[in-house]
């Protein structure tokens, strides 16, 4: 029998693929818009939600990303970033989550004159305050962004290294994988490697399995999404042998049409073949989901039992960018 909702809500879980900007409350978008005199497509929460949350008509990653365009102007201020980081801790603390890694791309938030450093420090301030107040460890992954200047990525890696002991968990490469190659940011990647910064790479979501191969070759410690790994059985075996975890996000994959239906999602096949799969939310507020919903979706659609979901939660802990003593603390909460 598949796991019940109640058992899932009691299961301690971790979220490793969670975009800070995609976790913003609609109410907060509204308030930040008013505070900074920015025009938004609506002036009450319900109507604004129709613009900034994914609608059933969403048919592609492009449609999905259009939701972000409406509110990106409100994020261009360090105080905004600090606030959403803090509020994320509060939201996560109400969901039975025992650890999370949130991520954002500072390079996309420089329109109003802030620097990447301003934004990184703001996010860390918000997280540090939130973690303490809501008694939940939440670390930050910095996203370098494909399609932006390589020197910005290099600067970001230096910042990640500088703050590695102060809340930075690792580095991610995000941005349009169908148009740009991660290897364009060679220097940043080399430095990240030199500084022992854990690396995850968005690959094989909207783009092809070749991007996953590139990520593996670049030494990625985890793969963001990796849905298209199903297209290359040999690479899949490599990913199993190297025990490279996949950060899968079911609702997001459905909304961006990375898969056309939940029945076609390769998640259960990955699991069967021994890939270290994890369940995550991606952009919970934009997608109108949370981690319980994702676990329930997996239980309902793929017939996972509570023991199998527990195994998936443990995969998440194993895959977390934390040291062994922290992993053991987290594991003790699940067992
Ligand atoms: Zn993502």
The CA–CA distances, whole Å, from 325 to 16, 69, 240, 332 equal 18, 40, 25, 11
Burial class (CB in 10 A: 0-12, 13-18, 19+), 258: buried
- Rounded to the nearest whole angstrom, what is the distance from the C-alpha of residue 290 to the centroid of ligand 1? 14
Number of H helices, E strands in the chain: 16, 8
- Report the C-alpha gap between 19 and 246 in whole angstroms: 16
- Rounded to the nearest whole angstrom, what is the distance from the C-alpha of residue 17 to the centroid of ligand 1? 6
Q: Using one digit for the tens of pLDDT, what is the confidence trace for 81-136?
A: 999 999 999 999 999 899 999 999 999 999 999 999 999 999 999 999 999 999 99
At residue 42, the pLDDT reads 93
Q: Which residues contact 285 (CB under 8 A, 6 or more apart)?
A: 22, 23, 24, 25, 26, 52, 53
- Rounded to the nearest whole angstrom, what is the distance from the C-alpha of residue 174 to the centroid of ligand 1? 7
- Rounded to the nearest whole angstrom, what is the distance from the C-alpha of residue 224 to the centroid of ligand 1? 6
Tokens of 11: 């299961």
Helix (H, G, I), strand (E, B) or coil at 145: strand
- Report the C-alpha gap between 138 and 329 in whole angstroms: 14
Contact 86, 127 (CB under 8 A): yes
Alpha helices in 163-257 (DSSP H): 186-194, 209-217, 233-241, 250-255
Contact 20, 85 (CB under 8 A): yes
The CA–CA distances, whole Å, from 67 to 62, 250, 260, 280, 316 equal 9, 18, 20, 20, 28
- Rounded to the nearest whole angstrom, what is the distance from the C-alpha of residue 1 to the centroid of ligand 1? 31
- Rounded to the nearest whole angstrom, what is the distance from the C-alpha of residue 103 to the centroid of ligand 1? 9
- Report the C-alpha gap between 41 and 182 in whole angstroms: 34
Just list the catalytic residues.
205
**Boundaries of every domain in the chain:** 5-334
Residues with CB under 5 A from ligand 1 (ion): 282
Contact 101, 320 (CB under 8 A): yes
At residue 278, the pLDDT reads 98
- Is the C-alpha dihedral spanning 193, 313, 289, 287 positive or negative? positive
- Rounded to the nearest whole angstrom, what is the distance from the C-alpha of residue 18 to the centroid of ligand 1? 7
- Rounded to the nearest whole angstrom, what is the distance from the C-alpha of residue 204 to the centroid of ligand 1? 11
Q: What is the pTM of this model?
A: 0.97
- Rounded to the nearest whole angstrom, what is the distance from the C-alpha of residue 259 to the centroid of ligand 1? 15
Residue 226 gets the label, from left (phi > 0), alpha (psi -120 to 50) or beta, of left
- Report the C-alpha gap between 313 and 317 in whole angstroms: 7
- Rounded to the nearest whole angstrom, what is the distance from the C-alpha of residue 245 to the centroid of ligand 1? 15
Tens-level pLDDT at each residue, the chain (335 residues): 789 999 999 999 999 999 999 999 999 999 999 999 999 999 999 999 999 999 888 888 788 888 999 999 999 999 999 999 999 999 999 998 999 999 999 999 999 999 999 999 999 999 999 999 999 999 999 999 999 999 999 999 999 999 999 999 999 999 888 888 888 899 999 999 999 999 999 999 988 999 999 999 999 999 999 999 999 999 999 999 999 999 999 999 999 999 999 999 999 999 999 999 999 999 999 999 999 999 999 999 999 999 999 999 999 999 999 999 999 999 999 98
At residue 178, the pLDDT reads 80
- Report the C-alpha gap between 295 and 286 in whole angstroms: 18
Q: What is the CA radius of gyration of the chain?
A: 19
Within 10 Å of residue 213's Cβ, how many Cβ atoms?
A: 18
At residue 182, the pLDDT reads 84
Q: Using one digit for the tens of pLDDT, what is the confidence trace for 272-293?
A: 999 999 999 999 999 999 999 9
The reply to whether CATH 3.20.20.80 applies to domain 5-334 is no
- Rounded to the nearest whole angstrom, what is the distance from the C-alpha of residue 253 to the centroid of ligand 1? 10
């Amino acid at each position: 029998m598949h796991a019940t909702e109640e058992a899932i809500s009691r299961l301690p879980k971790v979220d490793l693929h969670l975009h800070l900007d995609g976790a913003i409350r609609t109410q907060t978008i509204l308030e930040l818009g008013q505070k900074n005199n920015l025009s938004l497509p609506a002036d009450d929460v319900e109507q604004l939600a129709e613009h900034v949350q994914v609608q059933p008509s969403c048919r592609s990653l492009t449609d999905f990303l259009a939701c972000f365009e409406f509110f990106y102007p409100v994020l261009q201020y360090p105080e905004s970033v600090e606030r959403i980081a803090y509020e994320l801790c509060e939201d996560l603390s109400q969901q039975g989550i025992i650890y999370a890694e949130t991520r954002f791309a500072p390079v996309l938030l420089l329109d109003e004159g802030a620097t990447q450093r301003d934004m990184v420090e703001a996010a860390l301030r918000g997280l540090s305050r939130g973690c303490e107040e809501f008694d939940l460890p939440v670390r930050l992954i910095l996203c370098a962004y494909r399609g932006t200047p390589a020197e910005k990525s290099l600067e970001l890696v230096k910042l990640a290294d500088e703050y590695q002991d102060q809340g930075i968990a690792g580095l991610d490469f995000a941005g349009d994988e169908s148009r740009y190659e991660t290897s364009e940011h060679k220097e940043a990647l080399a430095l990240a490697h030199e500084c022992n910064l854990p690396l995850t790479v968005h690959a094989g979501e909207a783009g092809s399995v070749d991007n996953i191969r590139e990520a593996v070759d670049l030494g990625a410690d985890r793969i963001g999404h990796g849905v298209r790994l199903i297209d290359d059985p040999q690479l899949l075996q490599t990913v199993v042998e190297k025990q490279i975890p996949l950060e899968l996000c079911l609702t997001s994959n459905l909304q961006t049409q990375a898969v056309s239906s939940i029945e076609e999602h390769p998640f259960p096949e990955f699991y069967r073949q021994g890939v270290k799969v994890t369940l995550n939310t991606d952009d919970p507020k934009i997608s109108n989901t949370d981690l319980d919903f994702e676990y329930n979706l997996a239980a309902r659609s793929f017939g996972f039992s509570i023991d199998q979901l527990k195994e998936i939660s443990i995969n998440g802990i194993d895959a977390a960018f934390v040291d062994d003593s922290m992993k053991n603390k987290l594991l003790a909460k699940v067992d």
